[in-house]
Amino acid sequence: MAIMSQIQRGLRFQQLHTAEAIFLMPNAWDVGSALMLASCGFPAIATTSAGVAFSLGFPDQEAAVSRETMLDRVGSIAAASPLPVSADLQSGYGASPEEVGETIAAAIRAGVVGANIEDYSGNPAQALFDREHAVARVRAARRAADASGVPFVLTARSDVYLTGASNVFAEAVERCNAYREAGADCLFVPGASDPKTIEALVREINAPLTVVMGLTGSPLTVPQLGSLGSPRFQCNK
């Protein structure tokens, strides 16, 4: 399988998100897993921050694995993989929009053509960044991606369902649509796993929605999820 240039991989990854067909993207944690998954016929590969951390003997916490260590691993996966690679960059390795932009720029230099940034703050007193600040972080990520000249799919993740936010569905929709306006290409709402909720999110969010498969409590099959309207699935197992 020929390895595409980064520009070609970026264009291909964008096309996957605009095509009518759904696609399944597995999570890799090192070069070996990425090559194995690429050989299985998937169209793209994501990295998993949890998988990378666990493979290094650390917990799945942003503070446990430095940005440099994560980008080194992500870069090795992107260099070895013949497919587009999207990186799990957690909260962007910094609270400020400027730090998030720096992380996106560094990830693109490492070879990826997509990434997700979440709105989880890591602060027990306020689990999510307030909406205005979270939007500014997404906007900074978009600017950094555009400045690189590499076609890039930016996924904004909202952890409202994982943090017990009040009025959780409405908050998820409002945040995701605000992130979309700030420049996100795709949205991700982990913790929303029942069919009715997923279908409602797909209907109310004005962008492609990522749905995770392979986790406990997420028993739906690809055809079942596809019937709900979501184009992109990430497989954790």
Q: What is the dihedral of CA 73, 76, 82, 86, to 10 degrees?
A: 30
- CA separation, residue 220 to residues 83, 158, 163, 167, 177 (Å): 26, 21, 23, 25, 25
pTM of the model: 0.92
pLDDT exceeding 70 applies to what percent of the chain? 90
The mean pLDDT of 216-223, rounded to a whole number, is 65
With respect to residue 1, please indicate whether it lies within any of the assigned structural domains. no
- CA separation, residue 122 to residues 128, 160, 233 (Å): 8, 13, 26
Q: Which pLDDT score, from 0 to 100, does residue 218 have?
A: 60
With respect to residue 37, please indicate whether it lies within any of the assigned structural domains. yes
Q: Which pLDDT score, from 0 to 100, does residue 231 have?
A: 57
Tens of pLDDT, residue by residue over 154-209, are 999 999 999 987 899 999 999 999 999 999 999 999 988 888 898 899 999 988 88
Tens of pLDDT, residue by residue over 42-84, are 999 999 999 999 999 998 877 789 999 999 999 999 999 999 9
CA 16 to chain centre: 14
Element (H or E) spanning 4, and its range? none
Q: Which pLDDT score, from 0 to 100, does residue 2 have?
A: 52
- CA separation, residue 65 to residues 42, 56, 95 (Å): 28, 9, 16
With respect to residue 147, please indicate whether it lies within any of the assigned structural domains. yes
Q: Which pLDDT score, from 0 to 100, does residue 237 have?
A: 44
145 vs 18, higher pLDDT: 145
* CB proximity list for 156: less than 8 A, separation 6 or greater: 116, 117, 118, 119, 138, 176, 179, 180, 182, 184, 186, 187, 188
**Residue 128 predicted with pLDDT over 80:** yes
Please count the structural domains in the chain: 1
User: Which structural domain range is residue 68 located in?
Assistant: 6-235
CATH number, position 29: 3.20.20.60
